[in-house]
Structure 1
Amino acid sequence: MASPFDIEEIYPDDGGRPLRLPRRQVGNSPQGVTVTLLADYTLRTRAALPSAAIVALLAESGVSAAGARTAISRLARRGVLEGSRQGRRSSYRLSRAAAANLSAGGNWILAATGTAVPWDGCWTLVAFSLPQDRAAQRRALRGQLRWLGYAPLYDGLWISPHELTPPARAQLAQLSPGAVTVFRGRHTELDALGHRAPVDAWDIAGIARHYQAFLRRWRRLLPRVTSGRVVGAAAVRTRTEVMDTFRRFPLLDPQLPAELLPAGWPRRSARELFAAIYDGLAEPAERHVRAVVARFADGVQPTIRAHTTADMLAGVAGDEGGADDPPPVCGP
């Protein structure tokens, strides 16, 4: 099974808008950390932060000043950030498209790791055939199927225990017109040895190992979080790391029905631990981000609010900007 950390996109496409969120890499890329920071503290307000403050916050996560400025510039070119300038000071905030995309993604992360819905015993099968000269289209289709929770039973046959929703149906039709067939039915057991069951499309033991690794890593830190001993830059850095780690699980574990999973499946424990760390550090992390931004803000300080799991479930994304916003710029 491919590592979940190799999957390029964590969040869904944004309805065809000219927006490209950074690719998710092994470890934390400067662009990924930048997006996480802004989402964690400005998603509800779309507040614009001074570029110098963003650079300073990224430095606390080990990103060099040059790497931070390059990340900001590239995110602006991709449509993830939009810039403004007052005098010699430039500021950046999440674009409307990025805020909507990240809000939907945050909701998806928690919804997909919640309690599994009852299963009717049927499977949805997506069969497709694309020639070699349409490799890019094939990659896009596979990526969309992966995001929807499907797995390859065979090369051109992907399956899921869940029904195909109307939005998902529209996305697949747009990606591969005339090349995909979708049907739903029950699995028939064969007496022959070596037959492949649908659930074999997923590496259940491998998924469990990733969950256990997450639980081992973050349980050690939980007592320090609950006792208020993680503060300042460490609080911000820890929230970023736990988010970047946990948000990969919906792609790894597509909320398979309980009937298909072993007893004691660790999904709920991992979700509860994530919420305890992420929400437990919200207040000290917010205080630190405010303090760093205050060092670079001239006049009124931007509205900074730590995003919580409750906000993620609510799908909150706001905009405090208006007609008096400064003119946009393209570079840091």
Structure 2
Amino acid sequence: MPHPFDIEEIFPDDGDHPVRLPRRQAGNSPQGVAVTLLADYTLRTRAWLPSAAIVALLAESHVSLAGARTVISRLARRGVLEGSRQGRRSSYRLSRSAAVSLSVGGSWVMAATTTTQPWDECWTLVAFSLPQERSAQRRALRGRLRWLGYAPLYDGLWISPHELTPKARAQLTQLHLGAVTVFRGRRVDLDAVVGRDPLDAWDVAAVAAQYESFLRRWRPLLPRIIAGQVDGAEAVRARTEVMDTFRRFPTLDPQLPLRLLPAGWLRGPARETFAAVYDGLADTAERHVRAVVARFADGTYADVRAHTTADLLAGVCAAAEAADPASARR
């Protein structure tokens, strides 16, 4: 299986205007922290935040002053942020393209870790052959297959228990027209010494270890959340970290049918723990972000609004535009 940080982008490319979201790194990168912070409290409204407030919030996540300023500049160049200046005061907000991409990605993460589809015991096989000189295209194809939940059973033969969706079909066609063949069918059992179990394409034990690590990290915090013992700055940091960690699971856990997995699979408990942390700290974190923003600008900043896992599943941007159609034109 891939290392948890091998997938390059935070979310799959989606939307009419994809933006260059920060690449994954081992640990929480400053750019990733900044995107998560802004998304967690302004994705619904695309509120403008003073750059000084963004720097102050990043400082609470142990990003240096110089590092925070560099992050803002780089995210603006990537098209993730758009800026505005009034006198000596500069402000930034998520670009519409970034907001759409992050909203789609958040919904995808929630759906991928919630939905359990019945299985017809058939496998989808993607076979491809590319010459050595097309190594970049081969890497791109493999990366896309990873995003779609496939894994390599053999070199050039990737499998998934799920049907090929129209969207996946279109993506594979665009990447390598004429270089890919797709089949779907049942496995024929051979002698155990000769045949390879399709499940061997995934390192199930390694996925389980990631779930166990996640639960060890976050379950001890739940009693303090219930008791209201987590203060504002810690609440913001915890929501940022738990989101940055949990959103990787759809790329690690390919949503294999539960009947193929060991008993007591921890996908459900991990999602429940994520929701307990992320939702349980939402109000405390929102109040803290508003307080920090208020130090650098006039007004109460009611547009700073935390969202929940239910909001993410529904699509935060979609919910905002349904409530206020004019927001789609601003």
SS class of match (2:5): helix
Q: What residue is the counterpart of 2:307 in the other structure?
A: 307
Bigger mean CA offset, 10-19 vs 268-277: 10-19
Question: What is the percentage of aligned positions where both structures have the same residue?
Answer: 76
Shift of 1:108: 0.9
Q: Deviations over 1:109-130 (max 9, x none)?
A: 1111114210000001111112
Match of 2:132 in 1: 132
Superposed displacement of residue 3, structure 1: 1.7
Q: Give secondary structure in 2 for the equivalent of 1:213.
A: helix
Q: What RMSD over aligned residues (CA atoms) do the two structures have, in Å?
A: 1.8
Which residue of structure 2 lines up, in the alignment, with residue 297 of structure 1? 297
Match in the other structure for 2:262: 262
TM-superposed deviation, 1:18: 5.0
Contact 1:18 1:79 in 2 (8 A): no
- Tell me, in whole angstroms, the C-alpha distance in 2 between the residues paired with 1:246 and 1:128: 31
Query: How far does residue 145 in structure 1 lie from its aligned partner after superposition?
Result: 0.9
In 1: Cα distance, 2:168 partner to 2:210 partner: 27
Q: Which residue of 1 aligns with 2:274?
A: 274
Q: Deviations over 1:285-315 (max 9, x none)?
A: 0000000000111356361000210111111
SS of match in other structure, 1:6: coil
**Cα offset for 1:69?**
1.0
SS for the counterpart of 1:91 is strand
**Letter paired with 1:40:** D
Give aligned pairs, total: 325
1:158 counterpart residue number: 158
User: Partner of 1:330 in structure 2?
Assistant: none
- Kindly state the Cα deviation for residue 272 of structure 1 after the two structures are TM-superposed: 0.3
Structure 1 residue identity aligned to 2:13: D
Relative contact order (alpha carbons < 8 A, sep ≥ 6): 1 or 2 greater?
1
Q: 1:39, 1:307 within 8 Å by CA — same for their partners in 2? A: no
Shift of 1:170: 0.6
Q: Which residue does the alignment assign to 1:63?
A: 63
**1:1-332 alignment to 2 at 5 Å?**
1-15=1-15, 17=17, 19-191=19-191, 193-299=193-299, 301=301, 303-317=303-317, 318=320
- Distance 1:132-1:15 versus aligned 2 partners, 3 A rule: farther
Structure 1 distance, partners of 2:111, 2:153, is 25
Unaligned runs of 5+ in 2: none
Which letter does structure 1 place at the counterpart of 2:182? V
TM-score by length of 1: 0.93
Aligned partner of 1:329 in structure 2 is none
User: Equivalents in 2 of 1:102, 1:34: separation in Å?
Assistant: 13
Q: 1:218 & 1:290 partners in 2: Cα distance?
A: 25
SS across alignment from 2:313:
helix
| 1:81 CA drift (Å) | 0.9
Helix, strand or coil at the partner of 2:190: coil
2:140 aligns to what SS in structure 1?
helix
Partner of 1:328: none
CA contact (8 A) 1:58 1:68 kept: yes
User: Residue type matched to 1:289 in 2?
Assistant: V
CA distance in 2, matches of 1:98, 1:136: 26
Following TM superposition, by how much is the alpha carbon of 1:195 offset from its aligned partner in structure 2, in angstroms? 2.2
Residues 128 and 156 in structure 2, CA contact (< 8 A), matched pair in contact too: yes
Give, in whole Å, the separation in 1 of the partners of 2:41 and 2:309: 13
Distance in 1 (CA, whole Å) between partners of 2:327 and 2:263 is 52
One-letter code aligned to 1:211: Y
- Give the whole-Å Cα distance in 1 for the aligned partners of 2:257 and 2:180: 25
Aligned residues of 2:294 and 2:300 also touching (Cα < 8 A): no
Alpha-carbon offset, residue 7 of structure 1: 2.0
**In the alignment, is the contact (CA less than 8 A) between 2:151 and 2:201 conserved in 1?**
yes
Deviations 1:259-291 (A, max 9, x none): 211111110000000000000000000000000
Which deviates more, 194-203 or 266-275? Answer: 194-203
Q: Residues 182 and 324 from structure 1, CA distance in 2 versus in 1: closer, same or farther, beyond 3 angstroms?
A: closer
CA distance in 2, matches of 1:323, 1:99: 11
Counterparts of 1:290 and 1:211 in 2: how far apart (Å)? 33
Which is further off, 66-75 or 268-277? 66-75
| SS, match of residue 140 in structure 1 | helix
CA–CA distance in structure 2, aligned partners of residues 315 and 186 of structure 1: 35
Query: Once the 2 structures are TM-superposed, how far is the Cα of residue 14 of structure 1 from its aligned partner?
Result: 2.7
Distance 2:288 2:180 in 1: 50
Deviations along 1:64-119, one digit per CA (max 9) or x if unpaired, are: 11111111111111111111111111111111111111111111111111142100
